[in-house]
Amino acid sequence: MFIQLDSNQWNLVYNVFSLGLISMLATTVYTLVSQPRVLAKYRTALVMSSMVTFIAGYHYLRIFDSFKHASEGGKVLLDGSQDAFNEAYRYVDWLLTVPLLLVEVIAVLALAKEVSRSLIMRLVPASAAMIALGYPGEISSDQNTQVLYGVLSTLPFIYILYVLFVELGKSLDRQPAGVAETIGRLRLLLIATWGVYPIAYIFNIVGDQTASSFVTVQVGYTIADILAKCVFGLTILKIAKMKSVAEGMKDDH
Amino acid sequence: MFIQLDSNQWNLVYNVFSLGLISMLATTVYTLVSQPRVLAKYRTALVMSSMVTFIAGYHYLRIFDSFKHASEGGKVLLDGSQDAFNEAYRYVDWLLTVPLLLVEVIAVLALAKEVSRSLIMRLVPASAAMIALGYPGEISSDQNTQVLYGVLSTLPFIYILYVLFVELGKSLDRQPAGVAETIGRLRLLLIATWGVYPIAYIFNIVGDQTASSFVTVQVGYTIADILAKCVFGLTILKIAKMKSVAEGMKDDH
């Protein structure tokens, strides 16, 4: 199985992958060198964000190379063979980065130890279950299997929404001015960009894979990743700086 | 000699190797940038952990490339020739990382110099002997030789267990609250994950190498390595932070 892209489509995907790669690497360096600008207690959140973009940068390098290697004259091999485009890099990436992103949100709030622990112990297994349950549906070519695993992986996703919006909401009142709103926006960013993944998944179930659906899904995933990892990480840095200033660190911007 | 994997099996092994590689690299960066967060006396243990994951990251890069290079259409060459999949990378890795992992456990306890020295002088030669004695059995195709070296390399393994559980146990009473339990869990993690290696070794002796045994062994080794090196390293960081706080460093999470 392969799809034939025209040269504009092929170049668009290729350049968007390159954009994803350097966005991840640049954000990694930026957040790493910004560590001394926040109080020590917020550096765990920041270094986790650096790891998320570092891991995603590695995967975009692999995706970029895999796409180039699997293509010839705009024809992209998608048959799961050794020379095919390896979509599974995204699953390996999510398996590592999605739990880290959730832990980051908790870590930057610097809540009481028991509260943090309880939230993390619920969010991390739920996010791992969400991704693990999506994978069998992604690799299956049977529509019933795809729908079954699509529904199954939606259950932990709903639970994550509940924990983030109901449970976490209770802790936001005690945050300094401005922080609660920024956390609120961060939560919306997470949910809005994560929405791209089930949409792409449904796209794969209902439609035959055409050149334009392939391009839409790949470009959509990459933009979602830049928002959910780079913009997200820079927002974490902003929150960490606001909280550091609120707690007496000199505001030097 | 070669084995034929189907495309799901081949992709699983390939993606698991990639997961191993990026897990090692991300843990290396994470533990390196976390150094200022523990007292200077615990940084030796932490930087050793960074070296373990760095060395393993290098080997997973080599293993990943070797697997790709040795494969064609799911057929993996295993005849020991120049183009074959090179399993020996794992032995080179263990030869360097296993003694380092044991020294890390001792270093993070910051015991009296003589006690540390005595434990290290027993654990390091024993672990080197364990790996060196396993190698002739691994490369031999004669079952008697395999059993002989399997038994021989078990002897230093039992001695290591004795040192870790009996000798080291005596030093745990004087550790701050929480540290003794975490060290206990660390020791169990080490032993549980090391158990995968003899199981894979016996697997090779008793069974013909089939596609599914090859996949099981490679996936099993990689998961064991992620637990024994990444999760282990993050636990070392946690212990170092607990001890730093117990000794008066400001608790910044």
Residue-wise DSSP of A78-141: -SSSTTS--THHHHHHHHHHHHHHHHHHHHHHT--HHHHHHHHHHHHHHHHHHHHHHHHHHH--
pLDDT score of B253? 53
Q: What is the mean pLDDT of residues B236-251?
A: 87
Q: Is the pLDDT of residue A252 over 70?
A: no
Q: Is the pLDDT of residue B130 over 60?
A: yes
Q: Which of B2, B9, B10, B18 to substitute to test the interface with A, most A CBs within 10 Å?
A: B18
3-state secondary structure of A226: helix
Q: Is the pLDDT of residue A162 over 80?
A: yes
**Considering CB atoms only, which of B7, B21, B29 is closest to A51?**
B29
Q: Which of B4, B5, B8, B11 to substitute to test the interface with A, most A CBs within 10 Å?
A: B11
> Contact B22/A92, CB-based, under 8 Å?
yes
Q: Is the pLDDT of residue A199 over 90?
A: no
Q: What is the mean pLDDT of residues A1-22?
A: 96
pLDDT score of A37? 92
Between A26 and B194, name the one with better pLDDT. Answer: A26
pLDDT score of B19? 97
Q: Are B67 and A77 in contact (CB under 8 A)?
A: no
Identify the H or E element spanning A77: strand A75-77
Residue of chain A whose alpha carbon sits nearest to that of B7: A81
Measured between beta carbons, which residues in chain A are less than 8 angstroms from residue B37?
Answer: 40, 43
CATH superfamily label, B2-246: Rhodopsin 7-helix transmembrane proteins (1.20.1070.10)
pLDDT one-digit tens code per residue, A111-137: 888 888 899 999 999 998 998 888 888
> Contact B25/A54, CB-based, under 8 Å?
yes
Q: Which residues of B touch A (CB under 8 A)?
A: 7-8, 10-11, 14-15, 18-19, 21-23, 25-26, 29-30, 33-34, 37, 68, 71-74, 250, 252-253
Q: Is the pLDDT of residue A79 over 90?
A: no
Choose the most confident range, by mean pLDDT, from A141-150, A197-206, B118-127. B118-127
> Contact B26/A91, CB-based, under 8 Å?
no
Q: What is the mean pLDDT of residues A140-165?
A: 88
Confidence of residue A253 (pLDDT cuts 50, 70, 90): low
Measured between beta carbons, which residues in chain B are less than 8 angstroms from residue A62?
Answer: 18
pLDDT score of A248? 84
pLDDT one-digit tens code per residue, A82-112: 999 998 899 899 999 999 999 998 888 888 8
Share of chain A above pLDDT 70, in %: 98
First to last CA, chain B: 53
Q: Are B63 and B90 in contact (CB under 8 A)?
A: yes
> Contact A92/B253, CB-based, under 8 Å?
no
Break chain B into its structural domains and give their ranges.
Answer: 2-246
Instruction: Report the b/e string of A102-114 with b at 16+ CB within 10 A.
Output: bbbbbbbbbbeee
pLDDT score of B252? 61
